Amino acid sequence: MHSEIFIHPKAIVDEEVSIGANTKIWAHAHILKGAVIGENCNIADNVFIEGGAVIGNNVTIKNNCSIWNGVHIQDEVFIGPSVIFTNDRFPRSPRMPEVKERYQKEEHWLQRTLVKKGVSIGAGAIILPNLTIAPYTSIAAGALVSKSTVEHALMLGSPARLHGYVCTCGYRLIAGKCPECHKNYPELRD
């Protein structure tokens, strides 16, 4: 590991994890064996990153998020507080005799999630598995995402639906133009 990595003394970083330069891991976070985290990330309190999870560069993950095996987060993503990922569509306790066999092999139950570059996921949103969140999508706080999204989508509600488009900078587009940074998206006039 690079010497510039900051790990809070109350974080737990297991053996055999990969953490990029300038990344900060805060208190009560738990990084499990096999997790991969890029450079210049901010991993807040009580974030849990499981083996098999992959996180890119410049990612911000706020408190209480769990990033499971099967979740891949690309660069520059924002994950708000208490966002919930999932990786099983028909969960049962793996200790139940009737399903014990299913949970022996990942391919029998594990479903994946891909969060692409520049996405924001608002506080408390729930992301069902087996989908892709396209670049620069913004998921509103509390949304339940059950389908893949298009680029720059603003997704809102439960289940989440397309309610417009957002700029790379995060503001909502008005007639294809960003009111904040004035960037134009002629193809995104909704």
Furthest-apart CA atoms within the chain: distance in Å: 59
Q: How far is the CB of 186 from its own copies (least distance, A)?
A: 19
Which residue among 48, 116, 165, 173 contacts its own copies (CB under 8 A)? Answer: 48
Q: CA–CA separation, 98 vs 10, rounded Å? A: 39
Which residue among 2, 157, 175, 189 contacts its own copies (CB under 8 A)? Answer: 157
Please list every residue from 97 through 126 that binds its own copies, using CB under 8 A. 98-99, 102, 118, 120, 122-124, 126
SS3 content of the chain, % helix, strand, coil (to 5): 5, 30, 65
Q: How far is the CB of 35 from its own copies (least distance, A)?
A: 13
The answer to whether 82 contacts its own copies (rule: CB under 8 A) is yes
The answer to whether 168 contacts its own copies (rule: CB under 8 A) is yes
Cβ–Cβ < 8 Å for 155, 139: yes
Q: How far is the CB of 121 from its own copies (least distance, A)?
A: 9
Q: CA–CA separation, 156 vs 139, rounded Å? A: 6
Number of residues that make up the chain: 190
C-alpha 21 chain-centroid distance:
20
DSSP character at residue 69: T
Q: How far is the CB of 56 from its own copies (least distance, A)?
A: 10
DSSP character at residue 177: B
Count of residues near its own copies by CB under 8 A: 59
And the tokens for 171?
């503001």
Which residue among 25, 43, 46, 71 contacts its own copies (CB under 8 A)? Answer: 46
HSE of 154, CA atoms in CB hemisphere, 13 A = 16
Binding site for its own copies (CB under 8 A): 10, 12, 27-28, 30, 40-42, 45-46, 48, 57-60, 62-64, 66, 76-78, 80-82, 84-86, 90-96, 98-99, 102, 118, 120, 122-124, 126, 128, 138, 141-142, 144, 157-158, 166, 168-172, 180-181
